[in-house]
Structure 1
């Protein structure tokens, strides 16, 4: 009995000692995984025990009581978080998220590393959530307007009657800009020919713009730049619901709705939108300057996080559209034999993204998409009818070790076009590309970071391509950042991506296109270089300044262009694709200035580009590529109102054979009223001074049954005024 008493007394004395443990804790940035110096770690219950991380982001907690189940971690510029203590390891790794009000938390998904925008060696411009929220009420029908506000991007209208638009970057033709949706190249070939920019912004999180040659990332096509359109994800277990109604003087009505919510380990986003636009003849020449459009979009996405290490999201996107333009009496039925351009299309896409963190320093991702695109078009009373099936699959492995991030992966792209019975000479084809890529992001020191990439592609028709790329970021001092990038690219021949004719009067309508002669037409290859110097600083007074000066150069060998063929039809000479007897080059500067002070905001952008042919006998400027573009925005906002004025100038623009056209200014203004954090009323006016190409020249000529259209180099619709009502739950 005496012995039992002594044993019990001994256990009571030593129990507090054996119940205590020593823990080594490392605190990292949640995005970059870099060490956080000076982070405070403490218990949340008494007795309070704490420590501060050293220069390696490491702290030691000695004599930690055994009943402590969690630790609170805080650091300047980061959100304070509480982390559970695992029993299995003496060394714990805690990752903090940076605070939105102190550090820019915008992350970029297009580069696959989900890095913070400031940490990337490659220059990326992001239009964020606030921009998308504003644009969804100002121009709710599409994203072309907000993209056109950026000085280095020029929105080119490619048809006088059907309203189709395309993007030019760095003065190059639209085919050299690659468009992604959630990191997936869904708009290639036939499926990218119409309506890509008709994506409504309501369910978008951000748009990422990568300037210059980045074909190493996703394969051929990103020679002038790449644009990644990123969808929203559910962020809260409270439901988010937004509904929007818009109407314009061009008889366009938009009705859009978005819903988002998390349910524990699952989540859902759902977007649905309808656009009804009537055909309008603005200039009085009898032809539609704004086409008839009836479009329906449906986009649900499902999210599942079965564990903290595994994520899966699956989405479905459906678009159905009827578009009709031409001679207005023909559309109204009074002159059925006059010219009409009628398009019916359907797009179905299923996409997925699955990722699993196999360890704290390794993540495996598998993503892809399967889509079908069916389009029927009647032009000059000739029918073209085709369907494209597309597949994109990618697997990659991201490993972080020390100050490096290494990503290795492979992808498969399939583009299968099948022609239905119609009046064209198009033929079926199947293109497939197998690619492998490796990219290493290395933070050499506090002032130097390097990103090196290499891609190898094999195209089943046009052969093999080797694409190296190198980017360097220098940080000479805190407010300054310098980025240098050199990359290569390629573009395979495709009938459906040459939105700009190679010469005046060469037609790109489907009934005049001849199949590609794969024995003689070769892929284009390019090399490009970008230099970017940025200055960003915030002051205690609330004033902040951001200045960005970029320089770029791109050279394209033997570009593919559309040319007259020797054969002809009742519509005129057929069109064939050939390799040009010249090369192309684009050289320019891009200036970006953003000033903010309390409720005021000023943006200024200026782009100067010289894009021309480089051949023994042909050195003309590239058509429809403005050499000067100036953009500015002034905005003021308080708790209930926001006012903004936008101005842009387009100058030194040439058509074919160095034929210069007039310079013009473009003004826009918007006023918003916010009520009770739920309602937003927006009045927006685009092209306030009613600038139209018809003010300078006749756009349409010839008989109403076989009209001819001038190249489009200025707005056609004139002034556009719209009123939108937006409700957010």
Structure 2
């Protein structure tokens, strides 16, 4: 009996050491409470037992010894921490703090699932926080420069005198690229025609570039690609403040400031605030009397408030205000010595209120409601004729994200309203109201470790141009660890709009407001498209410290009955009016895109090459699309140490055609930057764009006409106009 009693006591004493339990562990971000994907959870002593979190931030550890008191959690971009294991609890929640030394953000927000870029079946290229920090000092006025560094993107100057720019992707017209701000389509219709790239990078977190058709996600327009510009959010209760002063040889001065902070011991509330002012004088670089760089006075004000009332709920609301005066044309007219000379004057105001509410009803379900309301007023005087209009826009979206097993299912609906109202002016434009109601469903299924599928279906009803059904399918394959293959096919549509950024359909067809005729909605139909992408990627880090990424993509897009501008039978004193029609041809674009990034210690190399064949496909017209370079090469070499950073960029633009297959000259573009930083607070940057002073005036006269000082005509813009640009920036960060 004594032996039995002794054995029983020994068993009770050592049982906890040999007992085992099953634990469910959720890893969250300490501030946003969002799931941390691919975090490693493990024991601290041998035998090492662990697991990796899934897309819901959940890790499951079976057979965990009962005597384990702590677990260590590590994840990319977060501090490694140890957490106590609560006895008797099968489900634990651990929260990680973001690393002080932040790395490039790899979470993509534009997919609505906040997935890591590595996990996405669709191809996305992300310009992260480090890129934004560099760009805010190199070219602080706008993001056009950094986007132009990507080989598949071509930034096109659309006006000879007012500095407006637009984006081409896959060789297609700018209207086929959709631009979002924080997942919201704010730059559509009348409000998107001018200055969409005049967005300063100082308060940006990252830019997400979606290559190919993604119209299923956000509706019509994302045919060649989509760009989502993501704002920063406050991350710490320690205040963050950045101020920047910049001046260039084109007489441009920028003064920008950014502030961010979380408040309270738990950081439930937060604020970001950006304000910026640009003062640029009109400059005639070529000596022809006309402004190659316009006069710009622009003021931006963008506060955003963040509130997390509970661990499950977060919301933010923002306001953005832009006021701009832009003036270009014949320089003596701008200076007042020739009152009747040609001037192009634009005054605009933009007000936008946006919001985003997210509530996790459970660990596997999240509800989101977001939207934006904006007004945009612009007055433009061109050839002494006034156009004056105001656009009111509304975007509302609600969606439900459900995670179950290896799948993420998102179902939602949205409403888009664009209302244009004309004020008394000299144009023939008319009022309109466009409203689109859409519903969408998307399923992300991690079939296995080597196969993932993303399938989407969207249905839109447009009050003027009818119904659209948009299916899309993407597949990701992992044949071996360093390799990833992505295949995607999708459909899209684009409704006719007078104010979209499009290339004139023929030579001398004008898109200025005084020559535009209203759209005949009874004869002009929406465009429809189908596109496909294949992407093969190799990514590996070697023991020597070398990190290598290689990406090779092939793409194809076909647009049926594109809407183009054409001469009308009526005219005014400026010439024939312009009308929009469905072209008697389709558009074909196919090409290849090569991307290589190499990092070794303090060195970084980027290489990109894009080859695109974009042409009309019709019974009598097979000409190349104008102003769409068939070859674009980009490369960047950078070196950095504790106090200095140097970089050289090179671009080549070749095989570019105008109208009727008229080929123009190829050209190289070189840029260089040097930066000195001290104590993580001060940065002094010297930057030079277009070092060898390449400009279109070197090849041909840009301004034409019998009386150019009063009524000029301009050649199509296919090369830089401003020549060499040198700027010096001083940046202070607290």
Coarse TM-score class (shorter-chain normalised): over 0.9
* 2:93 corresponds to 1:120: no
1:40 Cα offset (Å): 2.1
Matched, 1:653 2:652: no
Which residue matches 1:24? 22
Write out per-residue CA displacement over residues 498-528 of structure 1, whole angstroms, 9 at most, x where no aligned residue: 4310000000000110000000000000000
CA distance 1:297–1:75, shift in 2 (3 Å) = closer
Change (3 A) 1:49 1:355: farther
Out of 698, 711, 716, which is 2:716 matched to? Answer: 711
- 1:90 corresponds to: 90
Asked whether the equivalents of residues 126 and 207 of structure 1 are also in contact (C-alpha less than 8 Å), the reply is yes
> Where in structure 1 do 4 or more consecutive aligned residues deviate above 4 Å?
14-18, 20-23, 28-37, 48-51, 60-65, 75-79, 82-89, 93-105
* Structure 2 contact 686–729 (Cα < 8 Å) conserved: yes
Q: Paired residue for 1:487, among 490, 497, 519?
A: 490
Question: Using a 3 Å threshold, how does the CA distance of structure 1 residues 404 and 719 change in structure 2: closer, same or farther?
Answer: same
Where does residue 669 of structure 1 map in the other structure? 672
Q: Would you say 1:74 and 2:76 are equivalent positions? A: no
1:461–1:301 Cα change, 3 Å = same
CA-to-partner distance for each residue in 1:24-43, whole Å, 9 max, x for gaps? 32245657777867x3247x
Cα deviation for residue 701 of structure 1 reads 1.2
Cα distance in 2, alignment partners of residues 146 and 718 from structure 1: 18
Residues 24 and 92 in structure 1, CA contact (< 8 A), matched pair in contact too: no
Query: Which residue of structure 2 lines up, in the alignment, with residue 330 of structure 1?
Result: 333
Please report how far the alpha carbon of residue 676 of structure 1 lies from its aligned counterpart in structure 2 after TM superposition: 1.5
How far residue 90 of structure 1 moved from its aligned partner, in angstroms, is: 3.4
Summarize the Cα distance change of 1:54–1:483 in structure 2 as closer, same or farther, 3 Å threshold: closer
Match of 2:56 in 1: none
User: Counterparts in 2 of 1:335-346, with a 5 A limit?
Assistant: 335-346=338-349
Superposed, 1:29-428 pairs within 5 Å as 39-41=41-43, 52-53=49-50, 57-60=60-63, 71-75=70-74, 79-82=79-82, 90-92=90-92, 94=94, 106-263=106-263, 264-428=267-431
Aligned counterparts of 1:588 and 1:147: Cα–Cα separation in 2: 19
1:105-163 Cα shifts (integer Å, max 9, x gaps): 51000000000000000000000000000000000000000000000000000000000
Q: Which moved more, 1:302-311 or 1:98-107?
A: 98-107
Q: Is the 8 A contact 2:193 2:501 kept in 1?
A: no
* Cα distance change on mapping 1:95 and 1:450 into 2, 3 Å: farther
State whether structure 2 residue 502 is matched by structure 1 residue 520.
no
Q: Distance in 2 between matches of 1:64 and 1:315?
A: 49
Q: Classify 1:356/1:191 alpha carbon distance in 2 versus 1 (closer, same or farther; 3 Å).
A: same
In structure 2, do the counterparts of structure 1 residues 578 and 259 end up closer, same or farther at CA, with 3 Å as the change threshold? Answer: same
Find the aligned partners of 1:89 and 1:545 in 2 and give their Cα distance: 43
Does the CA contact (< 8 Å) of 1:346 and 1:373 recur in 2?
yes
Query: How much has 1:49 moved relative to structure 2?
Result: 12
CA–CA distance in 2 between the matches of 1:232 and 1:444? 33
SS of residue paired to 1:196: coil
User: Residue 723 in 1 paired to residue 722 in 2?
Assistant: no
Alpha-carbon distance between aligned partners in 2 of 1:377 and 1:36, rounded to the nearest angstrom: 54
SS of 1:649's partner is strand
Q: How far, CA to CA, are the matches of 2:196 and 2:51 in structure 1?
A: 51
Equivalent residue, structure 1, for 2:8: none
What TM-score do the two structures reach when normalised by structure 2?
A: 0.92
| Structure 1 residues 105 and 712: CA distance shift in structure 2, 3 A | closer
Unaligned runs of 5+ in 1: 1-13, 43-47
Once the two structures are TM-superposed, the CA of residue 73 in structure 1 deviates from its matched residue by 3.1
Q: CA deviation at 1:539?
A: 1.1
Structure 2: gaps spanning 5 or more residues: 1-11, 29-33, 53-58
8 Å Cα contact 2:105/2:129 also seen in 1: no
Deviations 1:604-660 (A, max 9, x none): 100000000000000000000000000011111000000111000000000000000
The separation in 1 between residues aligned to 2:133 and 2:496, in whole angstroms, is 38
Alignment check: 8 A CA contact 1:342 1:379 kept? yes
Distance 1:679 1:34 in 2: 35
Measured in 2, the distance between the counterparts of 1:616 and 1:413 equals 37
CA deviation digits over 1:167-202, x for unaligned, max 9? 000000000000000000000000000000000000
Offset at residue 57 of structure 1 (A)? 3.0
Counterpart CA distance in 1 for 2:165 and 2:218 is 23
Note the alpha carbon deviations across 1:475-511, whole angstroms, 9 max, x for none: 0111100000000000000000143100000000001
Query: In structure 2, what is the Cα distance between the partners aligned to 1:76 and 1:237?
Result: 22
Tell me how far apart the structure 2 counterparts of residues 565 and 620 of structure 1 sit (CA, whole Å). 22
Alpha-carbon separation, structure 2, partners of 1:548 and 1:34: 24
Structure 1 residues 278 and 28: alpha-carbon distance in aligned structure 2, compared to 1, 3 A threshold: same
Judging changes above 3 Å, is the alpha-carbon distance between structure 1 residues 101 and 254 closer, same or farther for their aligned structure 2 residues? closer
Q: How many residues align?
A: 705
Tell me: CA distance 1:269–1:97, structure 2 relative to 1, closer, same or farther (3 Å).
closer
Q: Say whether the 8 Å CA contact 1:51–1:59 is kept in structure 2.
A: no
Does the C-alpha gap of structure 1 residues 712 and 227 become closer, same or farther in structure 2, counting only changes over 3 Å? same
Alignment CA distance shift 1:725-1:118 (3 Å): same
TM-score, normalised relative to structure 1: 0.93
1:544 is aligned to: 547
